[in-house]
Structure formats: C-alpha cells, structure tokens
Amino acid sequence: MAQKNVVTAIHDALHEEMAADDRIVVLGEDVGVRGGVFRITQGFMEEFGPARVIDTPLAEAGIVGVAIGMALHGLLPIAEIEFADFIHPAFDQIVSEAARIRYRSNNDFNVPLVIRAPWGGGIHGALYHSQSIEAFYGHVPGLKVVVPSTPSDAVGMLRTAIRDPDPVLFLEHKKTYRAITGDVLDEPYTVPIGVADVKREGEDLTVVAYGFMMHTCLETATRLQEDHGISVEVVDARSISPLDKQTILSSVRKTGKAMVVYEDNRTYGAGAEIVATIAEEAMFDLDGPIVRIGGPDIPAMPFATSLEHFYLEPEPDQLYRRMLDLARF
C-alpha cells in the first residue's frame, strides 16, 4: 500500500492498464508530448508510442467520434477532454451515438469507451475551467457517470470503467488532484460503479455528497462531533448514474435526517435527483426536512477569489451551521 494523491493514483493506474492490455488507446488534446495539462499521461508517449497515445486537434466532437469508432472496432479507447467545460461540442456524439448504440442496434453493437474529464471549481479557473457537468449527462440512459473523489476510489473505478462494455463518463474533480491523498493498494483491484460508500459512520444526520464537497462535509462532520457530540454519517455517492439508492436510503432511515450537498447549480442538479429519491421512498422515516445545498443559479463561476468563494458556498463554517440546525430540528 502506498500514499498517493489523486493525480498520481490515476496516472499509475492508467499506466498499469495500458501496459497490461495493448487494446487501450489514449487520445485527446496535449495527452502525448506534453503528458496532459495535469500530467496524467506524462511519459506515456515515450513508452507506448504515438499509435497508442494520440495528440488530437482542438475538436472535442472529433475526439469522441473517433473514440467511438475505435471502440466499435475492438479497441478500448480512453478519450480525455482537457477540461469538462470543453465537452459540450461532443454532446451529440456522447448522447446520440455512444449512449444509444447498444439500444438502437438491439445489442448487436456496444461502445466500451471511457471519457475522462477534469471538472469542478476552487482552483481559480473562472468561467471556462470550473464547470460541473454531471447533471447534463446523468440524465442520459445508456451512459454511466462516475465522480470518484479519493485516490483509492479513482483507481478502482477507473479500472472498472475500462472493463465496462458500455460508455463511462469519468469525472475527476480538479481540486482533489493534489489536495487529496490516501492509501492505494499495490495489487490491482476494482471498485464497482453504482455503489456509494459510507465514508463516515454516524447516527444523528445523513449527508450525501460527492466530489470535493464530500471532503468539505467530512471536515465539517468531524467538527460537529468534537464541538457538539453530533454524529454525522457522510455518504459519498461516487456514482451519479447509476445511483446507489439502497445505500443512501438505508443511511437516511437510520439517522432520520437528510442533507444533500453538491457544487453544481442548485436547480436541476444531480443532488435534486437524490433529494427526490429520498422524498419518494423514505419520507415517513424522516423527522426533519430534507435540506438541499447547491451552488447559486448564476451562469458561471467568477474569477475573483471572494466571488469564487461565494459560488462554492457552503464553505466549512456555513455548512457547519446548516448541519447543526438540521441535527437540532
């Protein structure tokens, strides 16, 4: 077992998978000579060559379209979108093609494709380097959307995504890349897609989160325990689609109180689906209102530090007060 940050964990896992299976091909902007803007594929070009590590033009629709063709012809492509904000030109290829080929071919064809994309704010990326896109794609049947936020989960879920016979959108929160470290097993392992993880056991309140917000919730839960003896259970969704309803509902039924925290715009966010699930299936197990905390409904994340902090509410102190109020309801 070794301590790694998220960047190193993904780099090492991807390297191991490529070394073990020559069907795996990486393609995207700057993934080759430069090694990716976050250096995830650093050194890959020298080791695996330009036939397997392909620098592409700045054309996301082309990147995903070519990757779909590769997947249909026996390869296991991993398409990198340099920033999740740039994925929108490929929307039609992802939604109308990759996600629907199995259905429209009556199972004659499938697309074993992984699309990696760094997402989220908190790194002063402003309008075009801070977006949360999970809700757009979590809405699409036929497409899996995962959001690991720890080194161990990132490694295990990446391996699972590569082995999945259908397309997986693999979202990596940029703020976790070098800020979050953890133990990663030396031997190969997988983490299933569609299974949430209880990162912290608790009795008084359930908080469901994902991405960097999950780490903020863990920090806040520790403070509440120390200051007030309030026991908060933190559930890391890890997978937006499919969503692990069973783990979430079991936790909510145990604690009787539910809060859902996410970074994306609050309205129609992925957290709204989690809240709806709790309301539909566990309403009479609750002894307090369901609290939904998301980003403000403004068009984009500002560059100015103070405004970026506003967008990323709740920060730990604000979240602390909201958790405390709900626990005491």
DSSP 218-247: HHHHHHHHHHH---EEEEE--EEES--HHH
Question: Cα(109)–Cα(71) distance, rounded to whole angstroms?
Answer: 10
Helix boundaries (H) for 120-257:
134-138, 151-163, 176-179, 212-228, 245-255
Contact in structure between 260 and 228 (CB atoms under 8 Å): no
Tokens of 86: 């740039």
Q: Does residue 88 have an active-site annotation?
A: no
Handedness of CA 260, 324, 122, 32 (dihedral sign): negative
> Which position among 11, 129, 173, 215 bears the catalytic label?
129
Helix (H, G, I), strand (E, B) or coil at 158: helix
Neighbours of 194 (CB within 10 A): 15
The closest of 4, 24, 118, 30 to 76, measured between CA atoms, is 24
Catalytic residues: 129
